[in-house]
Amino acid sequence: MGFLDKKIIGLGDRTFALDLSDLSVKAFQIEKSAGHDSIRGYSNLELPRGYIDDGRIIEKEKVAGVIMEAVKKAGPKKINTKKVICSLPESKAFLRIVNIPQMSSEEAQEAVRWEIEASIPLSCDQVYFDWQFLDVCDGKQNVLTAAVSKEVVDETMDVLTMAGLDVYGLEIESVATLRSLVPKSIGRDDISLLVDFGAAKTSFIVAEGSIPYFTSSVLFSSEMITDAISKSFNITRNEAEKIKKTQGIEHSFESSSIFNSIKPLLENLSVEIEKTIDFYQSMPQKNASIKRIVMCGGGANLLGLIPYLTTRLCKEVAVGDPWINLNLGNNLPIINKEESVCYATAIGLASAGNTYGNKT
Domain ranges of the chain: 1-91+150-181+324-360, 94-146, 184-320
Strands (E), the chain: 2-5, 16-20, 24-33, 36-46, 52-53, 56-57, 75-76, 83-88, 93-101, 127-137, 140-149, 166-172, 191-197, 202-208, 211-218, 292-296, 316-319
At the topology level, CATH places domain 184-320 in Nucleotidyltransferase; domain 5 (3.30.420)
Nearest to 138 by CA among 190, 101, 96: 101
Cα radius of gyration (the chain): 20
**C-beta of residue 182 within 8 angstroms of C-beta of residue 207:** yes
Q: Give the count of beta carbons closer than 10 Å to the beta carbon of residue 310.
A: 14
Average pLDDT over residues 236-257: 80
Shortest CA distance to 83 belongs to which of 22, 147, 4, 153? 4
Range of lowest pLDDT (7-16, 29-38, 69-78, 84-93): 7-16
CATH superfamily assigned to domain 1-91+150-181+324-360: ATPase, nucleotide binding domain (3.30.420.40)
pLDDT in tens, 88-119: 998 888 888 888 888 888 888 888 888 888 88
The amino acid that residue 178 corresponds to is L
Q: Residue 130 above 90 pLDDT?
A: no
Residues in the chain: 360
pLDDT at 255 over 80: no
**How far is Cα of residue 147 from the mean position of the Cα atoms in its chain?**
16
pLDDT of residue 291: 80
* pLDDT above 70: percentage of residues in the chain: 92
The C-alpha atoms of residue 345 and residue 349 are separated, in whole angstroms, by 6
Span 68-92, average pLDDT:
95
Identify the architecture of domain 94-146 in CATH. 2-Layer Sandwich (3.30)
Whether the predicted pLDDT of 136 surpasses 60: yes
All residues at 6 or more sequence positions from 25 whose CB lies less than 8 Å from its CB, including other chains: 18, 19, 44, 45, 47, 63, 66, 67, 70
- Residues 345, 322 contacting (CB under 8 angstroms): no
pLDDT, residue 79, reads: 96
pLDDT of 122: 81
Residue pLDDT, tens place only, 165-217 = 999 999 999 999 999 999 988 888 899 999 999 999 999 999 998 889 889 88
One fold for both 1-91+150-181+324-360 and 94-146? no
> Strands, DSSP E only, in 102-161?
127-137, 140-149
SS3 string, 223-243, reads HHHHHHHHHHHCCCHHHHHHH
pLDDT band at 354 (very low <50, low <70, confident <90, very high): very low
Strand partners, 128: 148
Which residue in 212, 195, 345 sits closest to 270, CA to CA? Answer: 195
Whole-model pTM: value is 0.89
**What would the pLDDT profile of 328-351 be if each residue is shown by its tens digit?**
888 888 999 889 999 999 999 999
